[in-house]
Structure 1
Amino acid sequence: MFAVKQVERPQTPSDKNDLRQVAVVQALELEIETLKNLDHPNIVQYLGFEETPANLNIFLEYVPGGSIGKCLDKHGKFAESVTKSFTAQILSGLEYLHSKGILHRNLKAHNILVEMSGKCKISSFGISKQTDDLHGEAFTPMQGTVFWMAPEVISPQKKGYDFKTDIWSVGCVVLEMWAGMRPWMGEEMVAVLFKLYQAKLPPPIPKDLILSELADDFRRKCFAINPEERPSAAELGKHPYLVLPADWKFTGFT
């Protein structure tokens, strides 16, 4: 069984001048180019594509558990052991992406799929970007979803940003799993943009969420305002917060 992602190609002259329709096709073409050379257990597997005059289709492995976001919607916040396991897997996939020169730029709970066995797979590469210099602050377009976005991405000075923006997004996903809700819940997008750029604030911790010292240290490292102070995915994957008992196994969300 496999999953199919399909977009319609613009047909009429007016459609071909519709920037939104053109962007949708370009995003899927980018996803194909990105995924076809990747092979990692925590990255959704590319199986091929089909191109017709009317449509563009990409074939991906089918992940029956849905996304982390949908699991949170259904079950609420996760047990801490599940959060630790999922976070370690996300970081493993992200370390692989960064080793290939790829910034994901849109990590969030709804873009990470979960198998019934508890294996996580990063998906949705429509706005990812590949570069030969991950440390070179080569990217300036504001790409991503605001509530998971790092402060440097929205800077009007256009200084650029690097792979550390994905680390901030990992922190947002972990906060989602801890709290059972998206980061900046209750805040309007414009207000969040202001707080990220002007005040350089990370997403707040919900009042009913109590973190251990290790969990809070992990959070602080992800949300370091200076990107240079954020660890890499490889470094963060070794954080003691993520340690689980050797015999731990995923048994579901309840």
Structure 2
Amino acid sequence: MREGEMGSKGGSSGGSSRGRTRVGRYELGRTIGEGTFAKVKFATNLDTSHNVAVKILDKDNVLKHKMIAQIKREISTMKLIRHPNVIRLYEVMASRTKIYIVLEFVNGGELFDKIASKGRLKEDEARKYFQQLINAVDYCHSRGVFHRDLKPENLLLDAKGVLKVSDFGLSALAQQVREDGLLHTTCGTPNYVAPEVINNKGYDGAKADLWSCGVILFVLMAGYLPFEDANLMSLYKKIYKANFACPPWFSTSAKNLIQRILDPNHSTRITIDEVIQNEWFKKGYKPPIFEESDINIDDIDAVFDHSVHPGNLVVERPEEQLMAPSSPVAMNAFELIATSQGLNLGTLFEKQMGLVKRETRFTSKTPALEIISKIEATAIPLGFGVKKSNYKMKLQGEKSGRKGQLAVATEIFEVAPSLYMVEVRKTKGDTLEFHKFYKNLSTALKDIIWKTGEEIKEEEVVRS
């Protein structure tokens, strides 16, 4: 099934659009990702029938937390990039209260789902994805854009298996480089970050990105991280010294390249140009084909301008009943298939626990209201406050964990008569703590769970 074909039917849900919202030409569907400052929804362009992902930000929240500069940077960055291995930003819209960033919808899952199923990739397959990653990063650097947070959950695959780099929220445009020619913001994910970034004395964004690419290549081929330690300071010491060892199944040429990329001395570290000329890298290499175009980003200020003419604002039109719905929103087969293909925006690769997901699901034949009651009865003794709205719940942990209080969102969808799918996803807090919470929840709900997310996914694979 091609993306356009799926999108042509994805706008209707069991003959009713109850629970949906129209924004401009887009019909918004289910939430596929959620964070502190943004929510990402599956959507359909009603003019073209193509599926997209819409990132939604609340204007007041952006202003309150002084996030305007960062959000503008993210939008500007994405608008500058037109490359087959980078998630495309189609357009930006604003209503009176919200900002909508319309992005390419990628439904092939995450690259690291492959490691979850295979353990590690063969060298030729790892090289193919590494070539696409380097193509994307090299192009971004040529446009004056540094990603600064390259990691597994930012590497997605489209339906054809083409790698797409996502999430430029921590990227830095060339204008942010100081007079010393260096960037000075410490960011990124510890296991993937270059030693000079941790040092906080300024760093070359291109060389820091390449280090992260080297860590990713190692993980693809090894199935585990080169630098890992439960103690953060011990982890940093390993990174400073590049204290790692390649497993015996790496070829000599692959080992040599990785060692040159993971050189703790940034001044002697290999450059991207040198990587592209490396004999191991060049094997089967296909240069990217893409269109060059002049892109104007002057219009972005208008999105944040409160004095903008009302005629230039999009209109939010909720298409739902005023009274509380008598049943959960129906999820059609096309959205269900997209879900089964790994549409979890964000996972964290951990050697000890395999692939720990920030979102999971199960199906149940138990009536929806009874499911809600059982989740509430389970969550409260586990130390969670519960807020309910129709067939959605927000569970807020009362105790602070490794990354603050754990917050969990659940939503119930009707996928067939008397068959419901329950999504459970982390919205705040630590991923491993969420994994532990879900394990406790699913144990308590074992009498009503019909099939887990993995079983649903396995069935879809068999059918396809």
Q: Distance in 2 between matches of 1:246 and 1:92?
A: 10
Instruction: Determine the C-alpha separation between the residues in 2 that align with 1:74 and 1:5.
Output: 29
Q: Residue 134 of structure 1 contacts residue 162 of structure 1 at CA under 8 Å; is this kept in 2? A: no
User: Which segments of 5 or more consecutive residues in structure 1 lack a partner in the other structure?
Assistant: 248-254
Number of aligned residues: 235
Aligned to 2:193: 149
Could you say if the C-alpha distance between residues 134 and 74 of structure 1 is closer, same or farther in structure 2, counting changes exceeding 3 Å? farther
Aligned to 1:250: none
Quote the residue 1:57 is aligned against: 100
2:439: which partner in 1? none
Cα distance 1:54–1:193, how it changes in 2: closer, same or farther (>3 A)? Answer: farther
Q: Hey, what's the Cα distance between the residues in 1 that align with 2:250 and 2:202? A: 34
Tell me if structure 1 keeps the 8 A contact 2:227–2:238.
no
Contact map agreement 2:276 2:282 (CA 8 A) in 1: no
For structure 2, the 5+ residue unaligned runs are: 1-50, 287-464
Q: 2:270 aligns with which of 228, 231, 251?
A: 231
Give the structure-1-normalised TM-score: 0.81
Q: Which residue of 88, 98, 114 corresponds with 2:157?
A: 114
TM-score (structure 2 length as normaliser): 0.46
Identify the residue that residue 45 of structure 1 maps to in structure 2.
Answer: 88
Which residue in 2 is equivalent to 1:252? none
1:33 equivalenced with 2:76 (yes/no): yes
CA distance in 2, matches of 1:205, 1:173: 15
Q: Contact 2:59/2:97 (CA < 8 Å) preserved in 1?
A: yes
Give the aligned partner of residue 220 of structure 1: 259
8 A Cα contact 1:135 1:162, kept in partner: no
SS of alignment partner, residue 163 of structure 1 = helix
The amino acid of 1:202's aligned partner reads A
Change (3 A) 1:4 1:80: same
CA contact (8 A) 1:42 1:122 kept: yes
Q: How does 1:145-224 map to 2 (within 5 A)?
A: 145-156=189-200, 158-196=201-239, 200-202=240-242, 204-205=244-245, 210-224=249-263
Deviation for aligned residue 1:10: 3.4
| Structure 1 residue 123, shift from structure 2 partner | 1.2
Change (3 A) 1:92 1:36: same
Indicate how the Cα distance of structure 1 residues 214 and 135 shifts in structure 2: closer, same or farther if over 3 A, else same. Answer: farther
Can you list the C-alpha shifts for 1:17-67, whole angstroms capped at 9, x where unaligned?
Answer: 5x4xx44x6544322110112111111111112223433221111111122
CA offsets, 1:208-250, max 9 Å, x none?
5532110111101111122122222232122211244589xxx
Change (3 A) 1:5 1:205: farther
SS at match of 1:116: coil
Q: 1:161 to 1:72 in 2, by over 3 A?
A: same
Aligned with 1:131 (options 159, 174, 181): 174
Distance 1:55 1:210 in 2: 51
Q: Distance in 1 between matches of 2:233 and 2:86?
A: 32
Greater RCO, 1 or 2 (C-alpha within 8 Å, sep 6+): 1
Compute the displacement of 1:139 (Å). Answer: 0.7
**Closer, same or farther in 2 for the Cα pair 1:97/1:52, shift >3 Å?**
same
Question: One-letter code of the match for 1:143?
Answer: C
Measure, in 1, the Cα distance between the counterparts of 2:137 and 2:190: 20
Once the 2 structures are TM-superposed, how far is the Cα of residue 8 of structure 1 from its aligned partner?
A: 2.9
